[in-house]
Structure formats: structure tokens, C-alpha cells
């Protein structure tokens, strides 16, 4: 006999678990969560280096990209940081704020977060079945049939919370997009990895500086030289190119910009806050001091030497012997070094997917589909991706909460 439930949630990640708990708390209903993974919560467990950066002290729509800011704001404000902190407190996870504004469990252990979510879901009577990979969702009449090689289940409401495509071996391999498309949704024409390291040509001088980490401002410029976006944070040089928070944050903007405008470029200022003029003044007032002696007080010595070399400036040269063109070249290398990015490390190394189902296809007060009544979407499957710092989980909690409450409010 075919199984049935009131609400079936596909995906037991952050968004799916939040949706399940919110639904079960809202109304007594048979809530069934199906997940294809053998072990649950892979992303929660690896997040934040195993500590799970649950959210950020200050979250607003400007930390996100993809769909429009007003659309994202509508969902975030329904279940914001305050509600998230209170929710986790209720389920036994106290959060602490770090200097950067990131919130982590006081245990510094992601397992605390996963266990509390699973415990609360089970206590509320939610059934979590896995491994149960969903291969098909069909709508006939007022019911959905959700099936896989394990059998099928019918329900009047379905919430798709299958995540994106990053780290596909975690179970989030992008198949959820096909499920949504089969029910009438579209996905953005262009999707890229987001929060992903970027690659440089292997013989680029920065690749030889693998291991150097330095604060830098990365700036994305259009083909006409217009500043589009910039991020200042730690930048890590690696054997393949660039990583670290500033690079991860700007990666999706860069990958989307070059898709539309092949002349878009990324530039690095290795002395954040230093303008070319100020640096030029500094170099001019060096007198008899060597350029390198001055630069290495501000930058790691390996980087300082390489930037001099790149600018064809003898690092040992006294400041007062520097010719104007050499000074200019060095100022450019230090404050606006062009980064000839060749691509990204791809979904296996990305934290999120930039792209997905546009929010315009959902009723944002409920997360219900505009094209398929009874279907709800939440989490990373939506065309919403945030900066590093807990923003992506906040999107999962907010959108999962709205979807779960709304699906449960309708009579079964």
C-alpha cells in the first residue's frame, strides 16, 4: 500500500529540518522528511570548520545576491537573527558572538547544532527517512506523488529543500533543480559556484607565494573600469591562486561579471585603505631608506619582494633614487594589481551555488510556488546566496521557517 503524509519535505539539511520543526510546531500533522544521504547533516557538520557558523549578529539583505534585495528582505524579516537565536536557545543550543559578528554554538561543535535540530524534529513527531533519494515528484489532482527506488509517498504538500550543487558528494548534487523544473519552475540561466577559491595561471608570481595570508581589498571592475563591488578581508595565496574570505566573498560577483562582460577584471590592493597618492607620497619621503625596508614593515616580505620584482623595481634601491615611472609601477602593483583569474575551483570546493529558482516564482509570505500550488521551496535551491559569516544558514533558517509554518497552516 502506498504511504501518505500531510507534508513531505525533500532534504534534511538546514532548511528542510527548520521547515519540518516549524511545520510540526504549527499544527499537528504527519510531517515526513526524506533525504538521499546515508548520513544526515553533512553541510552542518563541515560548516565553519566544524564549528558551524549558525548566523551573524547583523543580517540584512545587502549581504546577499541573486534575487532582488526587497524580495530577500521580505523573507529574512519574518524570521531574523533574534528569532534564530531564541529558537536555538529553546532547543538547547546557546550561541556566542565572536568579534567578527559571527555566531557559533558555545560548544564550538557543529554536532551540537545538528543533534539539537534532529532531536527537536523527532520530539515533535517528525519522521526522518534516509537514505531515501527522491527521483520524481508528480502532481495529480490535489496530491503529490514523491517517489524513488524505495517506493513512494503521497501528500497534499511538498517542500523542496534539496540545497544547491556545492560539495555534491554531500548529497546536494543539483537534482533538486530538476525536481523543481518538472513541476513548472525555472532556474536562473547562469549558475556558478559561490564562495569559491579562484585560480590564476600556474606560473603567476602569486602562486609561488603559497601560504602567504594578508589583508587585502579585492575590487571588481567592469570592462569600462567602473568599480562594481569590493571586499576587504584576509586573502590567502595558494599554489593554484587565491583563497581566503575576501576571495570567497567576491568570487560569485567576479564569475557572474565575466560571464556578461569578458573584460571585467579583479584588482588587489595589498594595503587596504591606502590610496595610490598616499603610497606615492610615502615612497617619495623615503629618502635614503631602501624600498624593501619600508614595504616589509607593511607587507609580508615575500609578497613585498615579489611586488617589487613585478614592478621591475630593485627592492634594495634607496627611495630617493626611484624614478617616477618606477614609483608609479610599484604603487600600481601594491594598490591595484590586476589578477588574471582563469576560473574557479568549482563546486567541489564551493560553499554555495550562485543561482537557482528565482524568488519571483514564489509567494514570499509563504514560500509557496506561484506555478504549482501546494509546492514550497526553501534554502539554497532558491536564487539567493550570501557572504561568508553565517548568512547562508540564516537564509536556510528564515526561508525554512516560512515554508514550514505556511505549509502546516493550510488544512490537510
> Where on the chain is the footprint of ligand FAD (CB under 6 A)?
10-16, 34-37, 43, 46-48, 52-53, 133-134, 161-163, 166-167, 171-172, 175-176, 351-352, 379-380, 390-393, 396
Q: Which is nearer to ligand FAD, 284 or 348 (CB)?
A: 348
Q: Which is nearer to ligand FAD, 251 or 265 (CB)?
A: 251
Cell of 292: 624593501
Rounded to the nearest whole angstrom, what is the least distance from the CB of residue 30 to ligand FAD in the complex? 18
- Would you say 32 and 16 are in contact if contact means Cβ atoms under 8 Å apart? no
Torsion of CA 120, 125, 128, 134, to 10 degrees: -130
Residue nearest to ligand FAD (CB): 13
Give the number of C-alpha atoms closer than 13 A to the C-alpha of residue 14, restricted to the C-beta side.
29
**Length of the chain as a residue count:** 412
Q: Which residues contact 73 (CB under 8 A, 6 or more apart)?
A: 60, 61
Q: Which is nearer to ligand FAD, 45 or 229 (CB)?
A: 45
Torsion of CA 13, 245, 195, 83, to 10 degrees: 40
What are 32's strand-pairing partners?
Answer: 8, 127
Q: Which is nearer to ligand FAD, 37 or 279 (CB)?
A: 37
Rounded to the nearest whole angstrom, what is the least distance from the CB of residue 85 to ligand FAD in the complex? 14
Q: Which residues contact 117 (CB under 8 A, 6 or more apart)?
A: 14, 17, 18, 21, 41, 44, 91
Rounded to the nearest whole angstrom, what is the least distance from the CB of residue 323 to ligand FAD in the complex? 48
Rounded to the nearest whole angstrom, what is the least distance from the CB of residue 34 to ligand FAD in the complex? 5
Rounded to the nearest whole angstrom, what is the least distance from the CB of residue 134 to ligand FAD in the complex? 4
Q: Which is nearer to ligand FAD, 84 or 269 (CB)?
A: 84
Rounded to the nearest whole angstrom, what is the least distance from the CB of residue 378 to ligand FAD in the complex? 7
Q: Which is nearer to ligand FAD, 156 or 356 (CB)?
A: 356
Q: Which is nearer to ligand FAD, 29 or 52 (CB)?
A: 52
Measured CA to CA in angstroms, residue 3 lies from 146, 152, 185, 193, 316 at distances of 10, 7, 26, 37, 77
Distance in angstroms (rounded) separating the CA atoms of residues 36 and 38: 7
Rounded to the nearest whole angstrom, what is the least distance from the CB of residue 353 to ligand FAD in the complex? 9
Distance in angstroms (rounded) separating the CA atoms of residues 393 and 53: 8
Amino acid at each position: 500500500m502506498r504511504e501518505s503524509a500531510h507534508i513531505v519535505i525533500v532534504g534534511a539539511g538546514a532548511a528542510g529540518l527548520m521547515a519540518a520543526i516549524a511545520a510540526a510546531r504549527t499544527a499537528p500533522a504527519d510531517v515526513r522528511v526524506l533525504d538521499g544521504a546515508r548520513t544526515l547533516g553533512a553541510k552542518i557538520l563541515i560548516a565553519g570548520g566544524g564549528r558551524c557558523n549558525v548566523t551573524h549578529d547583523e543580517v540584512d539583505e545587502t549581504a546577499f545576491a541573486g534575487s532582488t534585495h526587497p524580495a530577500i528582505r521580505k523573507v529574512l524579516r519574518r524570521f531574523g537573527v533574534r528569532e534564530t537565536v531564541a529558537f536555538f536557545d529553546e532547543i538547547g543550543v546557546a550561541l556566542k558572538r565572536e568579534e567578527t559578528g559571527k555566531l557559533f554554538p558555545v560548544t564550538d561543535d557543529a554536532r551540537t547544532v545538528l543533534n539539537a535540530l534532529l532531536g527537536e524534529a523527532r520530539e515533535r513527531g517528525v519522521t526522518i527517512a534516509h537514505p531515501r533519494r527522491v527521483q520524481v515528484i508528480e502532481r495529480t489532482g490535489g496530491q503529490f506523488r514523491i517517489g524513488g527506488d524505495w517506493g513512494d509517498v503521497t501528500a497534499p504538500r511538498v517542500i523542496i529543500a534539496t540545497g544547491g550543487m556545492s560539495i555534491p558528494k554531500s548529497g546536494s548534487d543539483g537534482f533538486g533543480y530538476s525536481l523543481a523544473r518538472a513541476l513548472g519552475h525555472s532556474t536562473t540561466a547562469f549558475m556558478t559556484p559561490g564562495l569559491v577559491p579562484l585560480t590564476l595561471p600556474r606560473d603567476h608570481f602569486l602562486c609561488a607565494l603559497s601560504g602567504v595570508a594578508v589583508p587585502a581589498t579585492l575590487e571588481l571592475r567592469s570592462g569600462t573600469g567602473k568599480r562594481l563591488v569590493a571586499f576587504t578581508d584576509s586573502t590567502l595565496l595558494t599554489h593554484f591562486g587565491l583563497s581566503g574570505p575576501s576571495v570567497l566573498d567576491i568570487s560569485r560577483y567576479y564569475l557572474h561579471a565575466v560571464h556578461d562582460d569578458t573584460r571585467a577584471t579583479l584588482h588587489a590592493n595589498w594595503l587596504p585603505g591606502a590610496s595610490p597618492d598616499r603610497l606615492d607620497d610615502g615612497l617619495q619621503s623615503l629618502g635614503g631608506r631602501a624600498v624593501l625596508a619600508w614595504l616589509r614593515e607593511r607587507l609580508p616580505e615575500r609578497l613585498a619582494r615579489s611586488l617589487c620584482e613585478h614592478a621591475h623595481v630593485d627592492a634594495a634601491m634607496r627611495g630617493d633614487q626611484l624614478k617616477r615611472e618606477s614609483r608609479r609601477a610599484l604603487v600600481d602593483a601594491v594598490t591595484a594589481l590586476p589578477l588574471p583569474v582563469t576560473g574557479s575551483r568549482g563546486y567541489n570546493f564551493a560553499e554555495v551555488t550562485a543561482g537557482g529558482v528565482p524568488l519571483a516564482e514564489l509567494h514570499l509570505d509563504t514560500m509557496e510556488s506561484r506555478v504549482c500550488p501546494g509546492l514550497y521551496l526553501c534554502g539554497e535551491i532558491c536564487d539567493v546566496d550570501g557572504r561568508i559569516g553565517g548568512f547562508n544558514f540564516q537564509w536556510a533558517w528564515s526561508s525554512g521557517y516560512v515554508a514550514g509554518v505556511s505549509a502546516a497552516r493550510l488544512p490537510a
